[in-house]
Amino acid sequence: MKKLTWIIAVIVIVVLISIAFILRQSNSGDKDKNGYDTYEVKKENPINLEGKATPKSIKMYNNNDQIGSYISTSVNDGQTVKQGEPLINYDINNNKRKQLLDKLNATEDAYAKAEAQQELNKYDRTVYDSIYASFDGKVDIKNKNDVSAGEPILQLISKELQVKATISEFDVSKIKEGNDVDLSITSTGETAKGKIAKISELPKSFEDAGSKASGGEGGEAPSSNVINDPSSGNSDESSKYTIVINDIDIPVRSGYSMEVKVPVDTIKIPKSVLAKDNHVFVVGKDNKIEKRHIKIDKVNGEIIVKDGLKKGEKLIKHPKKNMNNGDKVEVSS
């Protein structure tokens, strides 16, 4: 009886092994029949950012009693002006300019004459900057009457807007100045186009540290604006960089939140398509394969293609070691 039990157990084991072998062969046959899986080369998805619309320039015009006595504004609140238009009326003290001009004309020494010319140019520039619009913009009157020396008279807000956004250290290397971007106004859904005008050299944490060191938060300004051994902020956080987008092709109100999409040309590939010595197998006409060497970078565990592949090309996944250039293969996808 015991012997019979052993015989039955052996028979069962043999049957199970046979079934497993048949299933394995069947699956293997199906894989060969279906052919190799492929990966289609495609560019990376756009980088999604959030930003704010801000004026490109803002200038405050204060009462400058060094050039004369303030009389009135020559523009109205909300008025749109062009660069060079007069904004403020002064009773200008012409004696100051006459003294500087007389000094220039009376000087014969070349070095002294150059200094006198610089003084005259500086005075003329001060007058211009105190009276005329430095750029196209909209006027915001702050005070019209009884304006003391140094107090604000009006503010000029640039008509040209820009969008500021932040990008992480993992994505900043994928973009460059001049790149086109797609914009969307968060509140309305209206879309626009723009271009990256500037990418900050330092991360925001350095910029914030520099602002504090220079008295940007109301502190006393240091005697020197050189910052030695600047802090980069929290070392546990990834760095973020400011980008500036301009050439926006629709009117946008300052302060609006914007969704920013930055298309990138970066091509990433999965590890499964990469063979020895950075080779891949590209599926060509009539399913013949081309063994091709590509240049890659490995960044944060991802394989970035620098050269050698184009969008739309198909690559063999898990290529066999004995696969050669010119082989014809069956592909399943």
DSSP secondary structure letters along 287-332: GBEEEEE-EEEEETTEEEEEES--TT-EEESS--TT--TT-B--B-
Residue 196 or residue 14, greater confidence: 196
Residue 11 or residue 283, greater confidence: 283
Decide: 278 and 294 in contact? Cβ < 8 Å: yes
Q: Which range, of 120-124, 190-194, 283-287, averages the lowest pLDDT?
A: 283-287
Mean pLDDT over 197-224 rounds to: 63
Half-sphere exposure at residue 261, Cβ-oriented, CA atoms within 13 angstroms: 12
pLDDT band at 89 (very low <50, low <70, confident <90, very high): very high
pLDDT band at 20 (very low <50, low <70, confident <90, very high): low
Which contacts of 87-92 are long-range, i.e. CB under 8 A and separated by 24 or more positions?
Answer: 87/61, 87/131, 87/132, 87/133, 87/139, 87/154, 87/156, 88/61, 88/130, 88/131, 88/153, 88/154, 90/64, 90/130, 90/131, 92/67, 92/68, 92/127
Say how far apart CA 150 and CA 122 lie, in whole Å: 19
Residue 285 or residue 234, greater confidence: 285
pLDDT of 185 over the 70 cut: yes
pLDDT of 88 over the 80 cut: yes
Burial of 153 (0-12, 13-18, 19+ CB in 10 A): buried
pLDDT band at 216 (very low <50, low <70, confident <90, very high): very low
Say how far apart CA 47 and CA 261 lie, in whole Å: 6
For residue 38, give the nearest of 326, 285, 313, 292 by alpha carbon: 313
Which contacts of 220-229 are long-range, i.e. CB under 8 A and separated by 24 or more positions?
Answer: none
Residues above pLDDT 70, as percent of the chain: 81
Decide: 61 and 156 in contact? Cβ < 8 Å: yes
For residue 131, give the nearest of 77, 177, 88, 162 by alpha carbon: 88
Mean pLDDT over 134-155 rounds to: 94
pTM of the model: 0.63
- Give 37's contacts (C-beta < 8 A, 6+ positions apart): 317, 318, 331, 332, 333
Mean pLDDT over 292-297 rounds to: 92
β-strand pairing of 68-73 with 289-293: unpaired
Residue 220 confidence (pLDDT): 44
Q: Which range, of 4-8, 92-96, 121-125, 318-322, averages the lowest pLDDT?
A: 4-8
Residue 51 confidence (pLDDT): 95
Residue 211 confidence (pLDDT): 53
Say how far apart CA 38 and CA 159 lie, in whole Å: 52
Residue 33 confidence (pLDDT): 47
The span from the first CA to the last CA of the chain, in angstroms, equals: 57
Q: Where in the chain is the domain with CATH 2.40.30.170?
A: 47-54+161-210+237-262
- Give 43's contacts (C-beta < 8 A, 6+ positions apart): 263, 264, 265, 266, 267, 311
pLDDT tens, position by position, 249-280:
998 888 999 999 999 888 889 999 999 899 99
Q: Which range, of 60-69, 185-194, 264-273, averages the lowest pLDDT?
A: 264-273
Decide: 319 and 291 in contact? Cβ < 8 Å: no
| Beta strands across the sheet bearing 295-299 | 267-269, 302-307, 295-299
- Give 104's contacts (C-beta < 8 A, 6+ positions apart): 113, 116, 117, 119, 120
- Mean pLDDT of the residues in the chain: 85
Q: Which residue has the tokens 């749109």?
A: 80
Decide: 285 and 313 in contact? Cβ < 8 Å: no
pLDDT band at 131 (very low <50, low <70, confident <90, very high): very high
pLDDT of 2 over the 60 cut: no
Enter the CATH code of domain 47-54+161-210+237-262. Answer: 2.40.30.170
Residue 28 or residue 163, greater confidence: 163
Task: Give the largest Cα separation in the chain, rounded.
Answer: 134
pLDDT band at 9 (very low <50, low <70, confident <90, very high): low
pLDDT band at 28 (very low <50, low <70, confident <90, very high): very low
Residues above pLDDT 90, as percent of the chain: 56
